[in-house]
Amino acid sequence: MELLCPAGSMPALKAAIEEGADAVYVGLKDETNARHFAGLNLDDASLRDAVRYVHQHQRKLHVAINTFAHADNFKVWQNAVDIAVRAGADVLILADIAMLAYTAERYPEVEVHLSVQASATNAAAIEFYQQFGVKRVVLPRVLSMNQVRSLVRSTSVDLEVFAFGSLCIMAEGRCYLSSYLTGESPNTAGACSPAKFVRWDERADGSLESRLNNILIDRFAANETAGYPTLCKGRFQVGNDTYHALEEPTSLNTLSLLPELYQEGIASLKIEGRQRSPAYVSQITRVWRQAIDAVMADADRFQVQQEWDLVLANLSEGNQTTLGAYHRKWK
């Protein structure tokens, strides 16, 4: 079972490798990936450095090109594939049918993984994408453990699941909430709830309001920790109640599911967070390396160490974690 860690920069990539990631995934410095944030990601030259560094350590580099190409500048996405292949990336993570078809035809020897942004949640969808030679599918965070288990048994491709990080509660790649409020979505612009639309207003009573494109997402009392206004994690009104109508600010943490994921033959565990700091990547990778080593040594006796939970909780949104959809009750 592979540990696949995120990197938004060379220092983060080095941290992941040093702490024992089997593979690292990165994006290019443009709108071709779903973490298109200012100051993040690698350019052409640093991608080549990244490949060299990762290969020196006998690990693998995956490049995410997982947004949807625009009609008028398709070349940008095509170039991204060309650049990644030429740099020697081990794997391309793709979502757009256009890019899957292009890569299958132009570079049939390159290993392709289906991005979570392609939203393949069932065996028929996986079968659909197999016509493009996809070797692995990254599962959306909407499935329960039972559903993951039944997928493992009904498909011949490798499956990768999200193990830790920000929790997307919608089927990824089919969520337009961000463009509904701001005009920009992960599919069209490579970002959800983009930072340029965020505004913080401090009020006279010490409370803080977070806004996205001027729409009130949440209101925090002076003693509350204020979180980033990701639109699905705001407090809204439904009927007479004001609450987190869609989801609380919380992170996904599947440590306790690790033996099951391992025994079911999940090929890879993905850690979310290319937008995070090298220090974050370092701490997360260290914990997950230890946990995966423990489960691989003896899955039956595996126990989540208290210190792992502590480290992960501190690195989580709102300092809380959830099993998300893997756990039926969450739904």
Partner 1 sequence: MKFALGAIQYFWPRDVVKNFYQQAAESSVDIVYLGETVCSKRRELKFDDYLEIAHMLREAGKQVCLSTMTLLEAPSELRELRRYCDQGEFIVEANDVGAIAYLQEQKLPFVAGAAINCYNQYTLRQLMSMGMSRWVMPVELSREWLAQLLQQPLVKDVRDCIDVEVFAFGHMPLAWSGRCFTARSENRPKDQCELVCIQYPEGRPVTSQEGQQVFVLNGIQTQSGSRYNLINQLPSMHGLVDVVRLSPQLMGTFEWLEKFRANEHGQAPQTLDKNDSNGYWLALAGLVQQLD
164 HSE (CA, 13 A, CB side): 30
CA distance 315 to 285: 12
**207 binds partner 1, rule: CB under 8 A:** no
**69 binds partner 1, rule: CB under 8 A:** yes
Of the pair 44, 247, the CB lying nearest partner 1 is at: 247
Residue among 79, 179, 277, 305 that touches partner 1 (CB under 8 A): 179
CA distance 229 to 62: 29
Residue among 2, 22, 31, 96 that touches partner 1 (CB under 8 A): 96
Residue among 32, 166, 213, 321 that touches partner 1 (CB under 8 A): 213
Rg of the chain on CA atoms, in Å: 20
CA distance 233 to 174: 17
**143 binds partner 1, rule: CB under 8 A:** yes
CA distance 195 to 33: 16
- Considering the complex, what minimum distance in angstroms separates the CB of residue 68 from partner 1? 4
Piece of 5-13, 57-65, 70-78, 281-289 that binds partner 1 (CB under 8 A): 70-78
Of the pair 32, 283, the CB lying nearest partner 1 is at: 32
**122 binds partner 1, rule: CB under 8 A:** yes
- Considering the complex, what minimum distance in angstroms separates the CB of residue 108 from partner 1? 16
**228 binds partner 1, rule: CB under 8 A:** no
Piece of 18-26, 46-54, 69-77, 264-272 that binds partner 1 (CB under 8 A): 69-77
Paired residues of 23 in beta bridges = 4, 60
- Considering the complex, what minimum distance in angstroms separates the CB of residue 233 from partner 1? 13
CA distance 139 to 114: 9
CA distance 165 to 324: 11
**185 binds partner 1, rule: CB under 8 A:** yes
The pairing of strands 241-243 and 236-238 is antiparallel
Q: What is the DSSP string of 258-317?
A: HHHHHHTT--EEEEP-TTS-HHHHHHHHHHHHHHHHHHHH-STT----HHHHHHHHHTSG
List residues binding partner 1 (CB under 8 A). 68-72, 74, 95-98, 101-102, 118-125, 127-129, 141-144, 147, 150, 154, 169-171, 173-177, 179-183, 185, 187-188, 213, 215-219, 232, 234-239, 241-242, 245-247, 325, 328-331
